[in-house]
Structure 1
């Protein structure tokens, strides 16, 4: 790489530039590289699940550290001729027949097609000490981390209507669940009955801070009133916001999720965004997709992109063949009869 430009040795554009090197992006890049597409992955190195100790529900790799999973994925992409570069993408625009991806440090990658797999940002409640424990003993998904907190004292922080459902899901994993009515999400009469029947304690009042013991483990939730409730883990419902601000010049914007849980890119099945040449996959377009689903969406988008490129290549070949035939039928200069 020289002068911060990612171009082929022949100065041709990349078949596909993948923006984001998480499981969706690397799965897509692997799929494309294996069918001999030239593919470049540009990754900012900020995977959403980096704070977590392990990735779960990934068949044959359950429990693998998130960063180790990505390291292995990058190696596989490279082994098939793909390329992975570090960089934070700042823009995407069309220049004639090409799409051009630019980075904050001046990188420029021309491409025939672009796949956006930048994921999302978890916007957490503004409670002192909460963000520092995210992915450890502050969590949100029972499928990702529920087994690890089974039978412990689990608190659920209510910041909206999803908290009631989280309380029920974690009650499946532990008999000791407490719902903190921090802000919003007041249960209905029917929900109160279900909480009581399941033995889920409900604590009213604003949460002021988290308490941590001398072993660096979550020990409790302290209310603004001064009351402390012991918990081993705290479940929250973050707002999920797709990392898509750099797509404004391409005519793409984040749309509010129908469930009100955050903002995402809206795509057609297969990941097409509606903007010519641009696809998206993973959490940037599916806020609740776990790791296996994000990986699968990357593969599906890669297949759709490859089919699109196959069609374009075939049409170009027809035009080129017609041009050659036309040239062959023309008489050579000076070859006509002279009298």
Structure 2
């Protein structure tokens, strides 16, 4: 399918979260033609508010994105509500991206800001409460559950660290080993020293009553009352659309899933393609993802400028060589 004249841009950004919109705003201010393809599936959609974002603390994820879209559009950025399903090298300059509705748009450069998908253990009640009273980051949500009864769901070695970390927000912490976490002798001593209770046995389900988490039920055992549950999900980079470019996720060194590897400026192994935000940095909170998007936009703009400068110098030299 051929592209239309109004579907060719300096930069295509795939992903309309904080990283993508921040990059779009920066590139728009640089007078670049930019399109953002937004599939409408933000990772933090279940959360009630965004925290740790200076001047926007407590704003809902939807409100933050609404503000970000308006700011980007103010600088001429086009927001396309659709899913990118495939990407390939263009027969001309840059990259062709196919959308779910069949349209093809082209960009001289490509920025991937598609984020991650959180994969939670298959425990009844966990997914339903995700982002509400089932949490994972104390810096994002610890303040909201301070001094409450918090259960840490064992899901591997990092669960001990989570228990010790959340102890800073509450003196009532219970680590459920869930047959998946085996603390070392030193770790058991640390947990005891910090007053963290340790409960053996597999977790069967969460008990929810009147739209509120009430407790953790153990398989064949008792129920332990909690107000919030903490779990460390496995994370998966959203990269299906970019297989045709040869891009693939690699295992994260922390053993918590996968990510798209880039250099310090966000450049991928494919020339002309960059990435920013959670798709390449799972630890980045919303503010950090936005900052990464802004910086990567600067790098992309400079990359384009260098290409344009080379072409202009070549054209200038040719014009001087034929001058009378």
Whether the TM-score (by the shorter chain) exceeds 0.5 is: yes
Aligned-pair CA distance for 1:107: 1.8
Give the Cα separation in 1 of the matches to 2:272 and 2:162: 39
Q: Please give the alpha-carbon distance, in whole angstroms, between the structure 1 residues aligned to 2:234 and 2:308.
A: 42
Structural mapping, 1:255-334, within 5 Å? 255-329=250-324
Matching residue of 1:120: 116
- 1:211 counterpart (207, 215, 218): 207
TM-score by length of 2: 0.97
Q: Is the 8 A contact 2:3 2:106 kept in 1?
A: no
- CA RMSD of the aligned region, Å? 1.4
Which of 21, 32, 50 is equivalent to 2:16?
21
Larger Rg belongs to: 1
DSSP 3-state at the match of 1:132: coil
- Give the C-alpha shift of residue 4 in structure 1: 11
Q: Distance in 1 between matches of 2:2 and 2:67?
A: 26
Residues matched between the structures, number: 323
Aligned with 2:240 (options 236, 240, 245) = 245
**Deviation sequence 1:308-338 (CA, Å, 0-9, x none):** 0010010111122233334444xxxxxxxxx
Match in the other structure for 1:332:
none
User: Match of 1:109, SS?
Assistant: strand
Are residue 49 (structure 1) and residue 44 (structure 2) matched? yes
Q: Distance in 1 between matches of 2:68 and 2:29?
A: 13
- SS of 1:301's equivalent? helix
Q: How does 1:70-89 map to 2 (within 5 A)?
A: 70-89=65-84
Instruction: Tell whether 2:25 aligns with 1:34.
Output: no
Residue 90, structure 1, aligned to residue 88, structure 2: no
**Alpha-carbon distance in 2 for matches of 1:61, 1:285:** 24
Equivalent residues in 2 for 1:60-209, closer than 5 Å: 60-96=55-91, 97-209=93-205
- The 1:254/1:301 distance shift into structure 2, 3 A limit, reads same
Q: 1:5–1:139: structure 2 CA closer, same or farther, 3 Å change rule?
A: farther
| SS in structure 2 of the partner of residue 229 of structure 1 | strand
Q: Distance in 2 between matches of 1:7 and 1:101?
A: 15
Pair 127,98 (structure 1): closer, same or farther in 2 beyond 3 Å: same
Cα distance, 1:274 vs. partner? 2.1
Rate the CA distance shift 1:6–1:46 in 2: closer, same or farther, 3 A: farther
Partners in 2 of 1:157 and 1:27 — Cα distance? 34
- CA distance in structure 2 between the aligned counterparts of 1:180 and 1:64, rounded to whole angstroms: 32
Q: 1:60 to 1:114 in 2, by over 3 A?
A: same
- SS class of match (1:319): helix
Q: Deviations over 1:45-64 (max 9, x none)?
A: 00000000000000111100
Q: Aligned equivalents of 1:36 and 1:263: distance in 2?
A: 35
Cα distance in 2 for residues equivalent to 1:46 and 1:211:
28
Query: Would you say 1:223 and 2:218 are equivalent positions?
Result: yes
Q: Secondary structure at the match of 2:117?
A: strand
